Amino acid sequence: MYYRTLGLSGLRVSAVGLGCMGMSHAYGAPADRQEMTELLADAVEMGYTLFDTAEVYGTPDNPHHNEELLGEALLPYRDRIIIATKFGLTFDNSDTAEPHALIPDARPGTIRCSVEGSLRRLRTDHIDLYYQHRIDPSVEPEVVAEVMADLIRDGKILHWGVSETTEEYLRRAHRICPVTAIQNRFSMLARWHEPLLSVCEELGIGFVAHSPLANGVLTNRYTADTPFDPATDYRASMPQYRAESFEKNRALFSLLEKLAEEHRATASQISLAWMMNKRPGIVPIPGTRHLFRLKENIGAADIHLTDEEVKAIDAALDSMEMSEVFGGSPIKK
């Protein structure tokens, strides 16, 4: 396994991390707990060190399912891994339709309550990387950063970051308490955060890419006929899974297959290798419930693309037609 350091923080993580949300939330009913416990152990043995969760990854009946799962499954390996979790978000469950709207809450009191809950569920005395899950427009970034500084001084967290941040928010927060990493949506289908890559390099901040396979569609393993349960699976309403989207994205899928054949890889591995070879500070965190995907994803770190190849891929992406892609659940005003 290869490793990367997130910005200038000194926090060293596996070049590919494991996004654990889908084990409990948004991709159907929660997976079998014993199977996921075994999968997480397999991930550690393969060399994964970065495990990503959040306090809200769960179900209406058990909203903290994912943190509880990781807390139990990863306890034997705690000194070998980096646990990242998130605060500052709840779901609007008044609407039965998936995905539910998001309600951000980054008030200092809420944050302090959240960190204690996460520490308890994760069965640890500290959180390695603590993200603000979404920006709360009613709380200034300086206020949040001051709370993070307090939590670091108290030893409850070691590093902090912001998910789905803007440049202005990031710069203001970073001035008060240095940010270790941001976690934003980034894939071949979702490149709107690319301008932040240079900002992160300037400030010495890592870029953790969530949904790096565009919620699975870039694996080239789904078709317009793949069924998803609208009651539990967000993909049922994601625009990239509409029938017409597969037609619009035909050129992209063909490009992935061509590159995969050239590099004796898979479409997923090319998608991940493209971003890892684009900038040394990018760490993708694809999720999975399957052992073969776990092996496939970590194998992307072995694929080397030259600068010329990355530029050629970027040029091709710029010129081709693409469908809409899921950009995250709506924020409730």
Could you give the residue numbers annotated as active site?
57
The interaxial angle of helices 291-299 and 267-278, nearest 10 deg, is 40
Spatial CB neighbours of 201, under 8 Å, sequence gap ≥ 6: 279, 281
Say how far apart CA 314 and CA 100 lie, in whole Å.
33
Spatial CB neighbours of 171, under 8 Å, sequence gap ≥ 6: 199, 203
For residue 152, give the H/E element and its range: helix 141-153
Inter-residue contact 4 to 82 (CB < 8 Å): no
Say how far apart CA 107 and CA 86 lie, in whole Å.
14
Say how far apart CA 275 and CA 280 lie, in whole Å.
9
Say how far apart CA 162 and CA 179 lie, in whole Å.
8
Say how far apart CA 21 and CA 54 lie, in whole Å.
8
For the chain, state the CA radius of gyration.
Answer: 19
Say how far apart CA 105 and CA 111 lie, in whole Å.
8
Residue appearing with tokens 């399912």: 65
- Supply φ then ψ for residue 86, to 5 degrees: -140, 155
Alpha helices in 15-131 (DSSP H): 33-46, 65-73, 108-122
Inter-residue contact 300 to 16 (CB < 8 Å): yes
